[in-house]
Structure 1
């Protein structure tokens, strides 16, 4: 080509534009042809449109749009080659093909300096989503911070933020991002995403013991799910209503909502199975409790946490309290190791009752120390939330 190696690098990374003749020579050497007819700006606009389709939860339309973009002839050998890899990245992350993204990330990083702010916001949001799927909240937040710094008006980076803070129990911060996401969803008329944001709002109300507000939203959404014949929305709403009933100790309502949930979802959702088992357990229907535990334990996909928890409940009904305590203690350790602080606190409350009932003073003392530790953590979290409020 009669140019320096550094010039080749600048061409590859998009930092410099070569003459048409030089590009033809370069692509011929590589055994391919360059598509000069592709307008990079057009591809960027289409890429942003596809991201907005994903924001609206129109997954089938999203997949069709992605497929059409990938079919553009020689898009991988054009001025939009890095947009092509970002398209592949979105496709794999949204459809949870996480094992395929390492190579794509390396290709994107080569040309990342050529990206617009909107493209950077999309890329880092997708990276955040990848870590949300793997339940690594710390890394997810790191990339979401980058995403929102390049475009704070994209719905999804705000939505992913509120999801993480809701799961971590930082409810003040979660509320901030729910409010912002709701505003964007309303302005952009993203109805499907709006429903899921309202579900998040209802979950926040449940976690902050505002059951009346939670039920008001959930019942409205339940009506809408029947109007739209949306099974997934209906399932999510009924899960929320069931949890609310369980926490309020309103077992009659809990059984009503459990009975309304489509079985094809119930079989795969162990949180919902746990609610169902606890409803029967607290209402002293031990036969039904044992039947559902037996069915759950028969599923080979059950995790160690649920397996130990269900076995612990079974031992309680069989008056084998030491074995029950051992199982719940294992659950507590598993929850902590997975960073599931809320779940660990729930296990700790149950252990507190068991130690108290059976005169295990040494262990009871240990629980009191752990509860004090969690209280301090909660106080520290409140300070973090207050700082977040001031920053926002």
Structure 2
């Protein structure tokens, strides 16, 4: 490592420690008996910091610098944890992360930013986002010291954060940055195919599924391979290739029982339920959703929606209303699901105009959020409504929109071409 990089890295570390401790530069300058501009030059790497100065600055900040931590080994550990995540080795990943968290002295060492990158992976992957903004603030101070692999991991985690928050457009922005630093990591390719499925970029999704499958096979990442096949099945569902989708899903369902993998089973059964619903095979739809563990049924609003639609299309309006009432009682319900459920309720009350308005708003909400897969589901229901209400102009519009979805692979183009309203 060159002296310039050393100076820059050390300067960034000292700055981030000072920022974390909320200590003004003036206090550091006073303790060192130097000017604030000298402290600034140390933090920006323009001046080198002697060991004595590093120790003095850390002392003012209430910590001591650890010179023993090997940064190169910590970089390797970042890659190792990411590889564990890539192959769904959750227990091993969390165990390794806990070892790092129990050695907090690493946070005041040459590997400070690797320490925070590991904390960032922990928070994002385990969906504990309460402290994410602070960790990002620390990382951004020292991001210019990261290797390309670390940058690829950091931006992939940022993309995953927005995937979880269902902000597909922002997710793509960070995933594209990630893959520009390393195009051969399984996970940024996997996240690309996942988000492109959500956005309706079906051609691009297929490209990234193929690439991810190749990487998973080469690196023998068998656990992740199953979830890649799930994405392939989802793509088949979205493009109306139900027979191909069911073939993959049923094989994966068998595998989930062999491995006793509840999460894989839940994902597969969700796919099979949706496929049955879209094919109007309601009997099998009820069978598949009945096989899903109750804890997933309570937490997954897509599954709740599938269940409500199965009851609705089976003309079991009492069960439909009971499930809608229960879902609407949850204060955390999003506008998309709230409008969808209220729209179905209006249908059962023969208030067709209000029902159509609510469900059309779901289409707009889904498309604005870049969730083309949800928009397509809404269109299928609207198609049924327009047929029942003999709204021929709207029916023709739905057919046009569906054709555009299958012909185009770029969701922003769809938004620009057809607008956000069903006129």
Q: 1:279-318, aligned counterparts within 5 Å?
A: 279-318=310-349
Q: Aligned match of 2:393 in 350, 356, 365?
A: 365
The residue aligned with 1:98 is: 129
Residue by residue over 1:59-116, the C-alpha shift from the partner in whole angstroms, topping out at 9 and shown as x without a partner, is: 2322221121123252122111121221222222222233422222222222222111
Contact 1:165 1:173 in 2 (8 A): yes
How far apart are the structure 2 equivalents of 1:314 and 1:174? 35
The residue aligned with 1:389 is: none
The residue aligned with 2:409 is: 381
- With the length of structure 2 as denominator, give the TM-score of the two structures: 0.80
Structure 1, gaps ≥5 residues long: 386-392
The residue aligned with 1:273 is: 304
The alignment covers a number of residue pairs equal to 382
Structure 2, gaps ≥5 residues long: 1-31, 414-423
The residue aligned with 2:66 is: 35
The residue aligned with 2:6 is: none
The residue aligned with 1:80 is: 111
How far apart are the structure 2 equivalents of 1:91 and 1:369? 46
Contact 2:272 2:288 in 1 (8 A): yes
Using the TM superposition, name which of 254-263 and 344-353 deviates more.
344-353
Q: CA deviation at 1:336?
A: 3.9
Greater relative CO (CA pairs within 8 A, separation 6+)? 2
The residue aligned with 1:151 is: 182
How far apart are the structure 1 equivalents of 2:257 and 2:319? 29
How far apart are the structure 2 equivalents of 1:383 and 1:328? 20
The residue aligned with 2:140 is: 109
Q: Does 1:262 align with 2:293?
A: yes
* Secondary structure of 1:267's aligned partner: helix
Q: CA deviation at 1:30?
A: 3.5
Q: CA deviation at 1:123?
A: 1.2
Q: Does 1:50 align with 2:78?
A: no
Q: Does 1:319 align with 2:347?
A: no
Q: CA deviation at 1:222?
A: 0.8
Residue by residue over 1:10-68, the C-alpha shift from the partner in whole angstroms, topping out at 9 and shown as x without a partner, is: 65467876443443344334443211111111111111111111112222322221121
CA gap of 1:267–1:24, structure 2 versus 1, over 3 A, is: closer
Contact 1:35 1:73 in 2 (8 A): no
How far apart are the structure 2 equivalents of 1:150 and 1:131? 19
The residue aligned with 1:203 is: 234
The residue aligned with 1:388 is: none
Q: 1:105-184, aligned counterparts within 5 Å?
A: 105-184=136-215
Residue by residue over 1:285-328, the C-alpha shift from the partner in whole angstroms, topping out at 9 and shown as x without a partner, is: 33443343344334444333323323332332343323333332
- With the length of structure 1 as denominator, give the TM-score of the two structures: 0.86
Superposition CA RMSD, Å? 2.9
The residue aligned with 1:236 is: 267
How far apart are the structure 2 equivalents of 1:237 and 1:352? 27
